[in-house]
Amino acid sequence: MFEKIHQETFGKSGCRRIVPGQFLAVDPKGRAVMIALKLHEVPGGSDGPSGVLICSENYITYKNFGDQPDIRCPIPRRRNDLDDPERGMIFVCSATHKTKSMFFFLAQTEQGDIFKVTLETDEEMVTEIRLKYFDTIPVATAMCVLKTGFLFVSSEFGNHYLYQIAHLGDDDDEPEFSSAMPLEEGDTFFFQPRPLKNLVLVDEQENLSPIMSCQIADLANEDTPQLYVSCGRGPRSTLRVLRHGLEVHTLWPFIHHQPNLVLCLFSPSYLCGSFTPSSIQVYPDGIRHIRADKRVNEWKTPGKKTIVRCAVNQRQVVIALTGGELVYFEMDPSGQLNEYTERKEMSADVVCMSLANVPPGEQRSRFLAVGLADNTVRIISLDPSDCLQPLSMQALPAQPESLCIVEMGGVEKQDELGDKGTIGFLYLNIGLQNGVLLRTVLDPVTGDLSDTRTRYLGSRPVKLFRVRMQGQEAVLAMSSRSWLSYSYQSRFHLTPLSYETLEYASGFASEQCPEGIVAISTNTLRILALEKLGAVFNQVAFPLQYTPRKFVIHPETNNLILIETDHNAYTEATKAQRKQQMAEEMVEAAGEDERELAAEMAAAFLNENLPEAIFGSPKAGAGQWASLVRLVNPIQGSTLDQVQLEQNEAAFSVAACRFTNTGDDWYVLVGVARDMILNPRSVGGGFIYTYRLVSGGEKLEFVHKTPVEDVPLAIAPFQGRALVGVGKLLRIYDLGKKKLLRKCENKHVPNLVTGIHTIGQRVIVSDVQESLFWVRYRRNENQLIIFADDTYPRWVTTACLLDYDTMAAADKFGNISIAEIIMNYHVGETVLSLQKTTLIPGGSESLVYTTLSGGIGILVPFTSHEDHDFFQHLEMHMRSEFPPLCGRDHLSFRSYYFPVKNVIDGDLCEQFNSMDPHKQKSVAEELDRTPPEVSKKLEDIRTRYAF
């Protein structure tokens, strides 16, 4: 937990409200701002000459007070670069590495090239700046050199990376550039980029930012829907498939053709356990205790009875004989296994049992949990004072399949001697035969059961296995899908594993895998590792070429049709032409003696193919566009077909349609702008490309293109035709032989049609600036009539149809609203997709949104006034008892543009579980509840709709 030490008064202008500074970057009313592209401080005092490095366009300059003259060095550029030669070069981020004897800087350009920057001094005066090419990595927003020799690179768009600094770049043959080298004004140095040499990629952290579009559907037939997310920018763009569950790494599969030999070790009546320093084996006719000195003691079952169930920990053994009789054994300090004199007759057959691990410093675990065939669970005491006496009982909705007592959710405490340890809570996990998991709090003193939580896991009976995660006990629950119940960052998680069905499992530890799992799946023994605890989704990423704008799902094949568009970019054909032209110029510029060498250099340049995902794509200049249409199989991630559009054609909209006059054929319509300039906005016209899906929906066949006078930003199928937003015109098109045929038009949308949604005869149109318009199509008059609009102007980025009369919309300022002011809520991030969907099998519908910053959130409806009142009061108490760390007023933030209305901040309410226990008790008492009851309400509403 963070503890607030000091807080500045918040001001929207960004300038300090407390102490007036000597230099003010922003004027007090926020009307003007002074911008230096980037400043980097230079170590001072005994560590260096102090001062500052100013990174401006094309130059890096050292400045300091006193007699120190300015030292300026040009930023080197790539040799034979395809970029626009008039385009300036800047440093976008930097980091300092400092030791006792030296320091240097790593500075990265906007192309991703990192330069090692050093300063030469003479009697505390800087005389020279030296730059040396270090390596090229994806463009970052911040870099941090760790003392352990690692470089962390944080990206605004795309994954974050961790590199190890293998070499400092002092001993290689890279040229070093200096401010002392004579150059004409405007000239610069040149270098040749290359693959990594000084850095080694160690790890990467997944980052969804920016999410450009999202569709939620079960295209893989997995029962639980997947999130198909197009994200990233430029050549680092990806299509990612997100599944709810933990990512599983298989460390060692071992094929076994006689699975019964393995399974017998894990079946309930055959068990091997470890007694430090001895071991124990339980089999149907008895118990075999193998001591450390290899002596074997055996206990045989009486008469014709056999052992049907057993439970074992480090020092205790409990067995259940046929007929429901319990026999208890405990190991004494000498290592001898002793039977308790009395036995316990249960009222029904024993179907499962569980013992908790022996707590540190204790002789035994105090409780035994027994599941009976009469649909009950009994807690039996193992304390010598009342051994085998029943303490509590819980009735179950179905017969139990397995039990597991674990200690979870521990907090670190220190005793009088200074020894640290974790004190957790005892939980009894009950797996039922109907696929339901119950988690119940087990009182460590009385053995009472309370606060039961329920979750449906799958169609098979639930088997439970104790494992260790993050140094604490956890439970692996196996049904038709495997789940892990664990505590992470002061919160309980019950998350499925994104893996095939498992049957049996146990904890596994080795030097390479300290917290692994050994498991059986069909005829395979596997060793598994779970490394990304706390993650809600695991993801698979498929690379794209340009920034993905939109995509649609083909209803029959479930294939995805994406459009990718980049501004300031070349198409592949234009890039090849540019390279060929530059290669010819290289040969022509060379003299007679150098012609052969120049030809070799030109050939090497043509064959050079540096991956654009790392080295970036060439910048073509403003008004230059590159686009393509891609047909993707979402399961394998393979590209089935791809159509590259011409240079300066930008695809902005796509739809899959069927036309009444063409039978069952599916068509893909792509809205394209030609020669578009963003600022000031101008466009040379547009086209609607029409493709037919052939070969079973796996190929795009060009049909024709229809010229239009403005940008077609929105296309939607409508009653066997297509609705198209061309600039501010709303049109209906039908399919013709040589082009699309215009059938109807409405000219009364004020600015620009950005989205079209249809239901019955109604059409809801979103305008770029003036919110939503409701339009009705009158077929008899062939007219599109606007009959209603929103009362508030909103810069709509996306919208979603909730029912025949209700629309949800999001604007570019980070607000989500439901039309006619049913609700308003400020998310704080620009929302680019909204979808009404069901996230879990059997769950209720919710409104899922994704943001430009890579966030995924949901809005869930309340089903009762009681729930609404409870969470409204909880939110009110949380605002006062647990204010945001940065000091913003919560209510004013959520009401940043419009007053928050009819929405409760679930993220704030869930902070209840992170509060101090005394504050939890205080807030719960104000709500006439106990803290566990409040936590249960939070968990229930989350699992009813999502994860």
Say what the pLDDT of residue 38 is: 82
CB contact burial 549-573 (16+ within 10 A = b; e otherwise)? bbbbbbeebbbbbbbbbbbbbbbee
- Token pair belonging to 610: 């540096």
Residues of the chain with pLDDT under 50: 21-24, 254-269, 415-417, 419, 421
With beta carbons less than 8 A apart as the criterion, state whether 926 and 881 touch: no
Cα–Cα distances (Å) from 905 to 104, 266, 492, 695, 825, in that order, read 46, 46, 20, 49, 9
pLDDT reported for residue 274: 59
Run of H or E residues at 482: strand 482-487
pLDDT at 905: 96
What is the CATH architecture assignment of 865-945? Orthogonal Bundle (1.10)
Report the pLDDT value the prediction gives residue 37, as an integer from 0 to 100: 67
3-class secondary-structure state, position 714: strand
Phi (first) and psi of residue 769, to 5 degrees:
-130, -25
Domain with CATH 1.10.150.910 in the chain: 865-945
pLDDT of 504: 92
Q: What is the pLDDT of residue 260?
A: 35
Task: Give the residue among 441, 450, 375, 373 at the shortest CA–CA distance from 405.
Answer: 441
CATH class, domain 32-203, is mainly beta
Closest CA to 247 of 480, 637, 534, 635: 534
In angstroms, the CA 852 to CA 547 distance is 13
Phi, psi of 704 (to 5 degrees): -170, 170
What percent of the chain is modeled with pLDDT above 70?
A: 93
Look at the domain 253-535 and name its fold: Methylamine Dehydrogenase; Chain H (2.130.10)
| Per-residue model confidence (pLDDT) at position 14 | 55
Rounded to whole angstroms, the Cα distance separating 47 from 102 reads 8
As given in the structure block, the two tokens for residue 224 are 């639980």
416-444 core/surface letters (b: 16 or more CB in 10 A; e: else): eeeeeeeebbbbbbbbbbbbbbbbbbbee
Tokens of 581: 């032209």
Q: Which residue has 């051994």 as its token pair?
A: 387
Q: How many CB atoms lie within 10 A of CB 103?
A: 15
CB 19: neighbour CB atoms within 10 A? 6
What's the pLDDT score for residue 140?
A: 94
CATH architecture designation of domain 548-569+617-859: 7 Propeller (2.130)
CA angle 415, 421, 427 (to 5 degrees): 120
Give the pTM: 0.90
pLDDT of residue 204: 93
* pLDDT value of position 522: 84
- In this prediction, residue 825 carries a pLDDT of 96
Burial 73-99 (b: 16+ CB within 10 A, else e): bbbbbbebbbbeeebebebbbbbbbee
Which residue spans of the chain are classified as CATH 2.130.10.10? 32-203, 253-535, 548-569+617-859
* Residue 169, SS3 per DSSP: coil
At 127, the amino acid letter reads T
Q: Output the pLDDT for position 782.
A: 94
Buried b (16+ CB within 10 A) or exposed e, 694-732: eeebeebeebebbebebbbbbbbbbeebbbbbbbbbbbb
The confidence score (pLDDT) of residue 146 equals 94
